[in-house]
Chain A
Amino acid sequence: MQLRAVYAEELGKLMERDSKIVLLDADLGRASGTLGLRERFPDRIYDCGVAEQNMASIGAGLASYGFKPWIETFAPFATRRICDQIAISICYPGLNVKILGTDPGIAAELNGATHMTMEDVGVVRSIPGIVIFEPVDEVQLRAAMPALDAYEGPVYIRMARAEQPAVFGEGYEFDLFRADTLRKGTDLTICVSGILTRDALDAAEELAAAGISCELINVHTVKPIDRETVAASARRTGAVLTVENHNVVGGLHAAVLEALARERVPVFAVGVEDRFGEVGKLPYLKPALGLTKEHIVEVAREAVRSKVEN
């Protein structure tokens, strides 16, 4: 199932239960998958038109009135375009607004560089008081939606709209502030987020066959990062690799480096190397930007070698 359909379905369930939830979008209700909710909740869904700054501050106003607004648009417009509104209207007063940014990074595919946020996590992560969550697959997103609703404060959710390969299975228990260890290992810690999680898992399996044991951690919440889980693993394995659909500046790599600043552990990166995106489908974009399973394997080997050299 497409993640946007999962999001819309789960949001619909939450809105059914809680009359305080209000949804705002900026002419992308169709793109976000929520157009169908409008008939069910005509008094609680508002299209602000192509005016994201206004949408963000209206969300803050509604939250100040005791409502629980969700605002949604493409990731670039949900973050870099409105970062002052996120900072001053929403985060400074600590208002309970959920911000959904869809198709972050290369997930924007054919919309190209203008819609491809390589910096959204960096922009938002440096604003005090906001949580940043990125789902991997349907199971995790379904589990996360009630937890996001229950959390009283601003959250930025960066979510690819398309269907994603399954990573989590039945019985998955979600904790918004606890990273998920997908695989135990002894030679290398791989921290991964979002749509590259399946690739990282495949890379870890390939490396295992070659005798390199990787611990794989899905950091679904990059802020606040689960330092305890990441640092404990890093201390055990002695080397870390971060994998993200984002600039290596300011995102998961930076967050892990900050979390491990006091640990004597090398931290390698697979991510977008400080460049803008371009148009294309994922099979083109992944190799073009160095975000493939093969590249993860290559950098992972380098990270493990660096331990021996030290």
Chain B
Amino acid sequence: MNYDLKRVAREIRCDVIHSIAHLGVGHIGGCLSVVELMAVLYFEAMNVDPKNPAMEGRDRFVSSKGHAGPAVYAALANRGFFDKSVLLTLNQGGTRLPSHCNMRLTPGIDMTTGSLGQGFSCAVGIALGARIAGDGARVYTLLGDGECQEGQIWEAAMFAAAKKLDNLIGFVDVNRLQIDGTVAEVNDVEPLADKWAAFGWNVIDVPKGNDVEAVSAAVKQAKANLGCGRPTMVLLRTTKGCGMKWAVELGAANHNTKVPMEEAEAAIRALREEA
């Protein structure tokens, strides 16, 4: 089935904003920056079945930036993995949708993440598993640009290239902000394209990482690399808080912040009017 990815991304974005505002607090910035990627992965690129989340040979997605959970949940709910009403239980006691991804709680979540750097290695392990199993599954994984400060990222980068895991496609959400300020100020990770290339990866640099068509084109290009003997890293140049002016204006403070319902409603109204 072909989906209108722009419309899908808008729905996911509205759900992210609403679910976080319903709780009143959350990682709004880094969830909104990856909405287009979530739309492309779950509505175009990945071989998954919402009715059978544990399907053998399915493609896997690991959000190594585990705090993007609410964006993944909104995508999963829109794709039919569970009812959208569940989104309003986000991060409340007893929920199946915790702040950070948990493979034992949420249908469709393939790996537990939250301690930065680890999820990427797990994704590399999954890609290795898929290769040993020979089932043709692809593995997609999302890193934060701040997360690239973790040493474990580069241990995994080295291993994936050395073992020629070309069934692995990574994304860096290059939103240039982290908790304490800009990534450049805190501990600069650039030049990311050169770093990933030097580690033996194909690199696709996407200047408009919040343009759903650009993301879709980049993922198609990355998928074409299967068989080339190198994993592929897609650098998505994004805006932290994208699609919610109030959040964008908070800057680095939008990482994990209180989100008033009136701001959320205004943002959702604006998004719907845009349509």
Chain B hits for A51, CB < 8 A: 155, 158-159
Contact: A62 with B126, CB < 8 Å? yes
Task: Report B144-170 CB contacts with A as 1/0, cut-off 8 Å.
Answer: 000000011001101100110000000
B17: interface (CB < 8 Å)? no
Assess the A88–B155 pair: CB atoms within 8 A: no
CB distance from B75 to the nearest CB of A (A): 20
Q: Is the CB of A93 within 8 A of B112?
A: yes
Q: Which of B110, B125, B133, B158 has the most CB of A within 10 A?
A: B125
A172 within 8 A of B: no
User: B-facing mask of A39-50, CB < 8 A → 1, else 0?
Assistant: 000011010110
Q: Give B153's nearest chain A residue, CB to CB.
A: A54
B123 lies within 8 A of chain A by Cβ: yes
A240: shortest Cβ distance to chain B, in Å?
Answer: 38
Contact: B114 with A88, CB < 8 Å?
A: yes
Q: Which of B103-139 contact A (CB under 8 A)?
A: 103-104, 110-112, 114-115, 117-130, 132-133
What are the residues of chain B within 8 A of A46 when measuring CB–CB? 128, 163
* A65 with B129: CB separation less than 8 A: yes
How many angstroms from the CA of A22 to the CA of B125 in the assembled complex?
11
Partner pick for A88 among B115, B120, B129, B130, CB 8 A cutoff: B115
**Is B178 part of the contact surface with A, judged by Cβ < 8 Å?**
no
Is A27 in contact with chain B by the CB < 8 A criterion? Answer: no
Quote the shortest CB–CB distance from B125 to chain A (angstroms). Answer: 2
Please tell me if the beta carbons of A61 and B124 are within 8 angstroms of each other in the complex: yes
Indicate whether A58 reaches chain B with its CB closer than 8 angstroms.
Answer: yes
Are B121 and A22 closer than 8 Å at their CB atoms? Answer: no
Contact partner, A94, options B104, B124, B127, Cβ 8 Å: B104
Check B121 against A57 for contact (C-beta < 8 Å): yes
Q: Say if the beta carbon of B102 comes within 8 Å of chain A.
A: yes
Q: Are A53 and B152 in contact (CB under 8 A)?
A: yes
Q: List 17 A-B contacts (CB under 8 A).
A: A46-B163, A53-B152, A54-B152, A57-B152, A58-B125, A60-B118, A60-B122, A61-B124, A62-B128, A64-B122, A64-B126, A64-B129, A85-B115, A85-B121, A88-B114, A88-B115, A93-B111
